A and B are shown apart, each in its own frame.
Chain A
């Protein structure tokens, strides 16, 4: 079966085309600047050959049309006929409380997705546009939605409720949802596979550290807690997002700086995090360079970053009554050697002992804890597109 995976953002459409027989990637690419001047489609073939297609891409539907057109073209295509696409998997950011797993898309599901737009006004509408486009262009092809939030739906109320009036939960569904679910699910399952362990009885903490970052506590293969909340701004310090912040401080800032809701949202989402603290950049590599040159605020930023992750690891170990596997993934988690080392310092009490030698590696599956370490520390590069393709395959096959 050949499956197209789509990740529609507000002005971009990422795609990856799989042959599921051996889970081979046949083509990958992205349409950028949808609905804007200077839009283009970039295609990357397995050979590494890259082609850029330039021209107006008015909306998501036309963007998808071009993706299909390019994939089925004589010159650059990887399929003879469009009918070779047997299913389409969509990344959908917010499934709300309605979806605890991936689903076959039908009218019912679309209605629920439309209802959930309110919860993710920046993401869900774009995801839906991709679904509508496929419905119009390839009406016979089954579609599947894979949610960022679904994996965390297994959390208990004690973990997902906030300490605010219960009526607000009832009225607006204000609660912790968590994100990066597909990634946490993939890397935790992959870690078990590598270590040849069963989900039952295994306690995993997975650290997805990228531009956005979150931790998840996973027990018996199920997410029991995660650091992102109602929105992706809670939890860890990120590139430009604040992470945990005293709400009282925010209302104080709003009063002092005389700013409103929109602006304060820009403040905590775009001016904060590593960028705000260091004043250097939101890019971890640049910050590390500056810190080595002796930049004090860059050092402070790195210390804060590592400390925040460590604090969460400790609290999740407490939540699960220990930890068996600690997994690092995401651009920073897979590559930042020094940060991993800082994060793991002093965690021996929880049975986590990093082997500095083994830790000296990047972006590949590796066990990096000491042989004597009670719990394993690992690097597992994430692959969300593959999970979407696999889920789509399973759901469509069993339909």
Chain B
């Protein structure tokens, strides 16, 4: 099947097997390996990306049926100019092995942008679709609260 996709502002035209998930397309075809494959069944959140600004699971999204612009972890900041949420994860040591981190950051960004980063209970609920087997949850929470304050000050 023919498909045109916008990923991080770049338009890609390609021929697709209808079985291809957005996750495999990002990693295997577009070489955007920041997005991680954890469970591959929609249970862990490691593959979280944004479609038109909303957090979705790229492992359950067939690329051929995608409608919208994709943003991945590679699209929100660079090594020289990281996004405030990336800086906050570094500052608060919000990971151990780091495998779930790109998904955590993409969910955290939605959490803040959609106004769900008020009380810590609200953040925990909104982040509940992202598992961290190293259990860095406390530091992830601290990073989100800190990034929220930075991002609100920048508005």
Do A and B assemble together?
A: no
B residues with CB within 8 A of A: none
